[in-house]
Amino acid sequence: MRYFFYFFFYLFYLPIIVANHYELPTYNDQSSRVWDRIPIHRAKERVYAFMIGRHLENCFEFYESPSLLRLKCWADNQLVDITITIHSEKKSIYI
């Protein structure tokens, strides 16, 4: 009986658990966030600090579009992908 339970678990529940674990990232979600103000003319230093804090070095760049930069960098003996995207929201003034 115990083996039947294990068989049933692996056959039915394990694929559901694994499928629910991997979710695609959503960039337009409406979840709450607290945004910290970066002082004027200090955004470059924050990006540098982010890269230094993650040991990103020896990078290669590819401009996929004017608002999308892709990087491949070496970090902690691994090749990592970095995507920098500029999203601009254009609000209509017409009703």
Is 23 part of a structural domain of the chain? no
User: What is the spatial distance between Cα 72 and Cα 54, in angstroms, rounded to a whole number?
Assistant: 13
Q: Which domain holds residue 72?
A: 56-89
Q: In the chain, how many domains are there? A: 1
Is 60 part of a structural domain of the chain? yes
pTM, two decimals, is: 0.56
Is 6 part of a structural domain of the chain? no
On the question of pLDDT at 22 being above 60, the answer is no
User: What is the spatial distance between Cα 71 and Cα 33, in angstroms, rounded to a whole number?
Assistant: 26
User: What is the spatial distance between Cα 85 and Cα 70, in angstroms, rounded to a whole number?
Assistant: 9
On the question of pLDDT at 63 being above 60, the answer is yes
Q: What is the pLDDT averaged over residues 67-93?
A: 88
Q: What is the pLDDT averaged over residues 57-74?
A: 93
For residue 83, give the 3-state DSSP assignment.
strand
Q: What is the pLDDT averaged over residues 48-68?
A: 92
On the question of pLDDT at 15 being above 90, the answer is no
Residue 56: the pLDDT is 92
